[in-house]
């Protein structure tokens, strides 16, 4: 049962990733791209957690955790850049 669910989830998350990536390429404006990248991070987290459940290992959890943590910082930095130009002031 869970195996089927995971497979369906894989397909859906993959589709989300592909669409995020499309937005990342297309833009058209910089905020669009930052948003697309941030969503790409979030879907990657989902992907990693799914992968961990799939092979029954907790080893990938930290990577997901780090993406969650660092992705936020990356997004903040990029947004600050658009707003103020200088990110550390």
Partner 1 sequence: MGLAYLTFIPFIGAAFTTVSTRLGRYSSAWVAVITAAASLSLLLPLAHDVMAGQTIIQHASQWVPSLGLNIAFRLDGLSLLFTLMILLIGLVVIIYARYYLSPRDSMGRFYAYLLLFMGSMLGIVLSENIIQLLIFWELTSLSSFLLISYWQQREEASRGARMALTITGGGGLAMLGGFLLLGKIAGSYELSSILESGDMIRQHALYPYMLILILLGVFTKSAQFPFHFWLPNAMAAPTPVSSYLHSATMVKAGIFLLARFFPALSGTPEWTWIVTLTGLITFLTGAYIALFKHDMKALLAYSTISHLGLIVMLFGIGTPLAVVAAVFHIMNHAIFKASLFMLAGIVDHETGTRDMRQLRGLRKYMPYTALLTMIAAASMAGIPFLNGFLSKEMFFAETVEHGNSMALPWLLPLIVTAGGIFAAAYSIRIAHNVFFNGKAEDLPKIPHEPSRGMQIPVEILVGLCLLTGIFPAQIAGPMLSVAVTSTLQTTAPDYQLAIWHGVNPALIMSMVAVAGGILVYRSREALFTLQSRFDGMFEAKRIYNGAIRRLFNWSSSITMNVDNLSQKRMLWLLFVASIVMGASGFIVHDAPLAGARTMLPVDPMSAMVAFIMIAAAISTVVMHQQRFTALVLVSAVGLGVALTFIKFSAPDLALTQLSVEFITVVLLLLALFFLPQRTPDESDRLRQGRDIVIALLAGSGVAALSYAVLTREYSTIGDYFISNSVSGGGGANVVNVLLVDFRGFDTMGEITVLALAGIGIYAMLDKLKLLSPQQDEDGRPWNPDTHPVVMATFSRLLLPLALMVSIFILLRGHNLPGGGFIAGLVTSVALIVQYLANGVEWTRTKLPANTHPLIGSGLLIAASTGVASWYFSYPFLTSTFHHFHIPLLGDLELASAMAFDLGVYLVVVGTSLLILINLGLIHQVSYQPRITKKNLASPTTDSDTTPSRSAALKKVLPWKR
Tell me whether residue 2 or residue 83 sits nearer to partner 1 (CB atom). Answer: 83
Number of residues forming the site for partner 1 (CB under 8 A): 45
Binding mask 29-48 for partner 1 (x = CB under 8 A): -x--xx--x--xx--x--xx
Contact 67, 49 (CB under 8 A): no
Q: Confirm or reject binding of residue 72 to partner 1 (CB under 8 A).
A: yes
Interface with partner 1 (CB under 8 A), residue from 21, 23, 39, 46: 21
Tell me whether residue 1 or residue 28 sits nearer to partner 1 (CB atom). Answer: 28
55's CB contacts (< 8 A; 6+ apart) are none
């Amino acid at each position: 049962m869970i195996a089927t669910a995971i497979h369906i989830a894989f397909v859906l998350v993959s589709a989300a990733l592909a669409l995020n990536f499309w937005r990342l390429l297309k833009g058209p404006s910089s905020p669009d791209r930052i948003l697309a990248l941030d969503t790409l991070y979030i879907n990657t987290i989902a992907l990693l957690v799914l992968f961990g459940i799939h092979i029954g290992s907790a080893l990938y959890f930290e990577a997901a955790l780090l993406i969650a943590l660092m992705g936020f910082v990356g997004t903040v930095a990029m947004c600050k850049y658009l707003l103020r130009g200088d990110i550390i002031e």
